[in-house]
Structure 1
Amino acid sequence: MDASNLVEISGLILGALLLFLVGGVWIGISLLICGFIAMQFAPAGIQIGAALATNAWAGSASWSLAALPLFVWMGEILYRTRLSDEMFRGLSPWLNRIPGRLVHVNVLGCGLFGAVSGSSAATTAMVAKITLPELKRRGYDEMISLGSLAGAGTLGFLVPPSITMIVYAVAANVSIIQMFLAGLLPAVIVMALYMGAIVIWSLMNPDKSPPPAPGLSFRQKLKETLNLIPLALLIGVIFTTLVLGWATATECAAWGVLGSLVIALWQRALTWKSFWESVMGAARMTAMIMLILTGAGYMSIAMGYTGIPNALASWVDSFHLSPYALIAVLTVMYVLLGCAIDGLSMIVLTTVVVLPMIQQAGFDLIWFGVFLVLMVEMAQITPPVGFNLFVLQTMSGRDSLTVARAALPFFFLLLATVAILTIFPDIVLVLPKMAFPG
Structure 2
Amino acid sequence: MSLELTGLILLGLLLLFLAGGLWVGLALTAVASLGIVFFTSAPLGPVMSQTYWSAVSGWSLAPLPLFIWMGEILFRTSLSEQIFSGLAPWLERVPGRLLHVNVVGSALFAGVSGSSAATAATLGRMSIPELRRRGYPDRLIFGSLAGSGTLGLLIPPSIMMIIYGVSAQVSIARLFIAGLLPGLMLVALFMGYLIVWALLHPHSLPQAAQRTALGERLRASARLLPLLALIVGVIGSIYAGIATPTESAALGVVGAMLIAILSKSLSWKNFLDSLAGAARTTAMIGFILAGSTLLTKTMAYTGIPSAIAAAISALHLPPYALLAVLLVFFILMGMFLDGISMIVLTAAILLPMVEAAHIDLLWFGVFVVIVVEMAQITPPVGFNLFVLQGLSGRDGLKIARDALAFFVVMIVAVGLLVAFPQIATWLPAQMTH
TM-score category by the smaller chain? Answer: over 0.9
Aligned ranges 1:98-137 → 2 under 5 Å: 98-137=94-133
Cα distance per residue 1:37-61 (max 9 Å; x no partner): 22134442x2111111111111221
Task: Please say if residues 92 and 102 of structure 1, whose CA atoms lie closer than 8 Å, have aligned partners that are also in contact.
Answer: yes
TM-score norm. by structure 1 comes to 0.98
State whether structure 2 residue 130 is matched by structure 1 residue 139: no
- Structure 1: how far apart are the matches of 2:102 and 2:261? 26
- Name which of structure 1's ranges 262-271 and 161-170 shifts more when overlaid on structure 2: 262-271
Task: Please say if residues 331 and 375 of structure 2, whose CA atoms lie closer than 8 Å, have aligned partners that are also in contact.
Answer: yes
Task: Please say if residues 117 and 383 of structure 2, whose CA atoms lie closer than 8 Å, have aligned partners that are also in contact.
Answer: yes
Cα distance per residue 1:64-101 (max 9 Å; x no partner): 10100000000000011111101101100011111100
Match of 2:28 among 8, 13, 31: 31
- Structure 2: how far apart are the matches of 1:43 and 1:265? 55
Whichever residue aligns with residue 32 of structure 1, its letter is T
Aligned ranges 1:188-199 → 2 under 5 Å: 188-199=184-195
Task: Please say if residues 41 and 306 of structure 1, whose CA atoms lie closer than 8 Å, have aligned partners that are also in contact.
Answer: no
1:317 shift after superposition:
2.1
Q: SS at 2:315's partner residue?
A: coil
State whether structure 2 residue 318 is matched by structure 1 residue 322: yes
Task: Please say if residues 339 and 375 of structure 2, whose CA atoms lie closer than 8 Å, have aligned partners that are also in contact.
Answer: yes
Cα distance per residue 1:151-170 (max 9 Å; x no partner): 00000000000000001001
Cα distance per residue 1:114-156 (max 9 Å; x no partner): 0100000011000100011100000000001100100000000
- Structure 1: how far apart are the matches of 2:137 and 2:40? 61
Task: Please say if residues 146 and 403 of structure 1, whose CA atoms lie closer than 8 Å, have aligned partners that are also in contact.
Answer: yes
- Structure 2: how far apart are the matches of 1:43 and 1:139? 63
Aligned ranges 1:229-240 → 2 under 5 Å: 229-240=225-236
Match of 2:414 among 399, 411, 418: 418
Identity %: 50
User: What is the aligned residue count?
Assistant: 433
1:184 shift after superposition:
0.4
Task: Please say if residues 339 and 385 of structure 1, whose CA atoms lie closer than 8 Å, have aligned partners that are also in contact.
Answer: yes
Match of 2:245 among 246, 249, 257: 249
Task: Please say if residues 156 and 180 of structure 2, whose CA atoms lie closer than 8 Å, have aligned partners that are also in contact.
Answer: yes
1:204 shift after superposition:
1.5
Task: Please say if residues 56 and 289 of structure 2, whose CA atoms lie closer than 8 Å, have aligned partners that are also in contact.
Answer: no
1:267 shift after superposition:
1.3
Hey, what does 1:398 align to over in structure 2?
A: 394
- Structure 1: how far apart are the matches of 2:52 and 2:73? 29
State whether structure 2 residue 208 is matched by structure 1 residue 206: no
Query: RMSD in angstroms over aligned alpha carbons?
Result: 0.9
Hey, what does 2:91 align to over in structure 1?
A: 95
Hey, what does 1:172 align to over in structure 2?
A: 168
1:423 shift after superposition:
1.1
- Structure 1: how far apart are the matches of 2:124 and 2:282? 23
> Gaps (5+ residues) in structure 2?
none
Hey, what does 1:86 align to over in structure 2?
A: 82
Task: Please say if residues 153 and 388 of structure 1, whose CA atoms lie closer than 8 Å, have aligned partners that are also in contact.
Answer: yes
Hey, what does 1:53 align to over in structure 2?
A: 49
- Structure 2: how far apart are the matches of 1:43 and 1:209? 63
Whichever residue aligns with residue 135 of structure 1, its letter is L
- Structure 1: how far apart are the matches of 2:75 and 2:194? 26
Whichever residue aligns with residue 7 of structure 1, its letter is E
- Name which of structure 1's ranges 196-205 and 33-42 shifts more when overlaid on structure 2: 33-42
Match of 1:63 among 43, 56, 59: 59
